[in-house]
């Protein structure tokens, strides 16, 4: 994890981020494009001072928070950087607030819809997204399995039929991931379809 002290990080620049044009250098493709500030809409994970993920914002908002020394850069997008007239700056992918923010989180309701959303609308046994998808009790209810984030998972019809009233072990089936209570950040509207690799350690997905 690399860190950049906020003050030195943006020591040069009020003008750099308040002007309407910045350069986004695309290292991977070796080309460089000039875009409006609106092209800084890449998603950035915001961590609380305690490193707990609390929200997602645009890169533009993240840069503003860093510049105002309200946040510091924790992880950057190595594929991109921000180029001003004088220098390059790392493109943020994870930032951390400098002060602790009390955030009341809404409890995520345990429902069929949310289980499927957590599982990315895919069968947890074979990875198929072929509808119709069903709910599977990993430990069957008849065997004492509960309705819980840990015991409910998404399964395609084929896998559900194959498993029947057995545990995965008995059926010789493997779960592709261990079902658990989802982090609220995964349920934010802005995060859908986008989980950056650099976010994973902070979202406890590994
Ligand atoms: Zn399946």
Residue 167 CA to ligand 1 centre (angstroms):
15
Residue 118 CA to ligand 1 centre (angstroms):
16
- What is the SS3 string spanning 145-179? CCCCCCCEEEEEHHHHHHHCCCCHHHHCCCCCCCC
23 closest CA partner among 67, 87, 100: 87
Helix (H, G, I), strand (E, B) or coil at 29: coil
Structural domain boundaries in the chain: 6-104, 112-171
Residue 154 CA to ligand 1 centre (angstroms):
8
pLDDT at 87: 83
Q: 168-196 as b/e, with b when 16 or more CB fall inside 10 Å?
A: beeeebeeeeebeebbbbbeeeebeeebb
Which tokens belong to 103?
A: 């955030």
pLDDT at 104: 80
pLDDT at 147: 96
Provide the residues around ligand 1 (an ion) whose CB is within 5 A.
123, 125-126, 128, 156, 159
Number of alpha carbons in the 13 Å side-chain half-sphere of residue 177 = 18
pLDDT at 39: 57
Tens-digit pLDDT profile for the chain (206 aa)? 444 444 444 444 443 443 334 444 444 333 334 443 445 767 899 999 999 888 888 888 999 999 999 999 999 988 888 888 888 888 999 999 999 998 887 788 899 998 998 898 999 999 999 999 999 999 999 999 999 999 999 999 999 999 999 999 999 999 999 998 887 777 775 555 567 778 878 876 54
Q: What is the CATH number of domain 112-171?
A: 1.10.30.50
Residue 153 CA to ligand 1 centre (angstroms):
11
pLDDT at 16: 41
Residue 203 CA to ligand 1 centre (angstroms):
26
């Amino acid at each position: 994890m690399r860190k950049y002290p906020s003050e030195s990080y943006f020591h040069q620049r009020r003008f750099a981020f308040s002007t309407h044009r910045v350069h986004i250098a695309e290292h991977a493709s070796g080309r460089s494009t000039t875009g409006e500030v609106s092209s800084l809409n890449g998603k950035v994970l915001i961590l609380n001072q305690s490193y707990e993920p609390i929200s997602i914002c645009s890169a533009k908002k993240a840069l503003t928070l860093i510049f105002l020394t309200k946040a510091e850069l924790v992880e950057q997008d190595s594929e991109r950087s921000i180029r001003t007239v004088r220098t390059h700056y790392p493109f943020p992918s994870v930032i951390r607030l400098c002060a602790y923010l009390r955030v009341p989180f809404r409890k995520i309701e345990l429902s069929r819809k949310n289980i499927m959303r957590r599982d990315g609308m895919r069968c947890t046994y074979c990875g198929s997204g072929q509808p119709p998808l069903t709910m599977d009790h990993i430990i069957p209810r008849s065997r004492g399995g509960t309705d819980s984030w840990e015991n409910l998972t998404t399964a395609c019809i084929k896998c559900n039929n194959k498993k029947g009233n057995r545990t995965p072990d008995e059926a010789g089936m493997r779960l592709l991931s261990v079902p658990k209570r989802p982090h609220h950040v995964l349920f934010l509207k802005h995060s859908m379809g986008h989980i950056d690799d650099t976010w994973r350690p902070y979202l406890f997905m590994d």
